[in-house]
Amino acid sequence: MATPTYRRKHKIHFSECDPAGIVFYPQYFVLFNDLVESWIDELLPQEGYHGVIGERRVGMPTVRLEVDFKAVSRMGDEVWLSLDVERLGGASLTLAWACTGVDGVLRMTARQTIVTTSLDTHKSIGIPDDIRDAIARAMESAART
């Protein structure tokens, strides 16, 4: 299996679970949004995600999301949250997400398409060159490992 473009370990919290004690499925979307933010923070350490969104006014909304749930995650479980860049286009990128237990059991997968937009006009714009270059470098680095 190829190394993902970015991954981080996470312990499932009580606040992420439903009364049955398993991750309430919308919480996965919050976890992966946090993962994307952390990834952008690392790619662009001078400004981070907050600078891209807040100061540069470049939006990164999700326009497509496909999800498969494979196994449950429970409070206290340690999991790996990972994302891999499947496609880097002119104004969009497609990410593959995975949540895998530290035991190797795949919990859920998703494909997300993000489009870059102007937060002033809410129209699609090209991925800014510095962001595109940082993503391309991350993809190359993951491919080498």
The number of distinct structural domains making up the chain is 1
pLDDT of residue 144: 87
Assess if residue 27 is contained within a domain: yes
Residue range 67-125, pLDDT digits in tens: 999 999 999 999 999 999 999 999 999 999 999 999 999 999 999 999 999 999 999 99
Tell me whether residue 99 is in a domain.
Answer: yes
Domain hosting residue 48, numbered range? 6-144
Q: What is the pTM of this model?
A: 0.93
Q: What is the CATH number of the domain that holds 62?
A: 3.10.129.10
* Domain-embedded: residue 28: yes
Within-domain flag for 1: no
Q: Is residue 26 part of a domain?
A: yes
Contact 106, 100 (CB under 8 A): yes
